[in-house]
Amino acid sequence: MPEGDTVWNTARVLHRALAGTRITSSDFRVPQLATVDLSGWTVRESVSRGKHLLLRLGAPDEAPWTLHSHLRMDGAWRAYAPGERWNGRPAHLIRVVLRSPGAVAVGYHLHEMALVPTAEEDRLVGHLGPDLLGPDWDPAEAVRRLADHPEQPIGEALLDQRNLAGVGNLYKCEVLFLRGVSPWTPVDAVPDLPGLVTLAQRLLAANRGRWTQSSTGSLHRGQTSYVYGRRAQPCRRCGTAIRKEELGERVTYWCPVCQPERSGPPTPS
């Protein structure tokens, strides 16, 4: 699940593969960048900002630029050794290929790709709230932003990247379960909002540096989550069947007993 920790891990993979090297060739397979040639550019660093990935580049005799991409639900970057078979995804999903003397970076099904001057990154990520895994993490600011929308359901508020950057469906569901809060509870009715925000940051940080996301402490298959992905399975606390609500890409899992503020989504009027 490409949430904040996955993007952080991806940025680290690209940094290890490309940072400090010169791009020997580039191949963009998206219309807006089809004519761009990064040959001769140097990769300075690869960093994440919430769910956004920023590959910062040094152009010959020019100010630095940033290649921006977003993984959304299905995007991925892979780093291969020169000559290694590309087996990350089907070839028709490739959106960009960056070659250097020691590695080949391939981006699959990437979204919101853009190349902008690094000084103008805020055009793409300036709207984001504090990054749960970033040096700017500020829990008080995250709480303030959440509290600015007191009537919004907390499940929606946690997914709003303008409040805090990095939480997706998985962590939303797990954090709310662990705090015993219904996803449909208004923000101003959530007990101990700072504690909820702190827990969200701790869960993402605990999974930083590994690809298996776990909120239970177990890395064994089928034991990594309390509610996420467990529709109709018994709650690990009370045995009640876990419920699921789906609206587009937004999926919510919850236990109606352990998260008792509401037993489900509000009834349509």
Which pLDDT value is given to residue 266? 46
Q: Write the pLDDT tens digit of every residue in 241-261.
A: 999 998 767 899 999 999 986
Residue 2's pLDDT band (boundaries 50, 70, 90)? confident
Please list, in sequence order, all residues whose beta carbon lies within 8 angstroms of the beta carbon of residue 151, skipping any fewer than 6 positions away.
186, 187, 188
pLDDT at 106: 98
For the chain, the helix, strand and coil percentages under 3-state DSSP, each to the nearest 5: 25, 25, 50
Indicate if the pLDDT at residue 91 is higher than 80. yes
Residue 1's pLDDT band, with cuts at 50, 70 and 90, is: low
Active site residues: 2-3, 51, 250
Give dist(CA 214, CA 206) in Å, integer: 8
Asked if pLDDT for residue 65 goes beyond 70, the answer is yes
* Mean of pLDDT values over 123-135: 96
pLDDT at 268 exceeding the cut of 50: no
* CB distance 174 to 141 below 8 Å: no
Q: DSSP labels for 134-197?
A: STT--HHHHHHHHHTSTTSBHHHHHH-TTTSBS--HHHHHHHHHHHT--TTSBGGG-S-HHHHH
* % of the chain with per-residue pLDDT over 90: 89
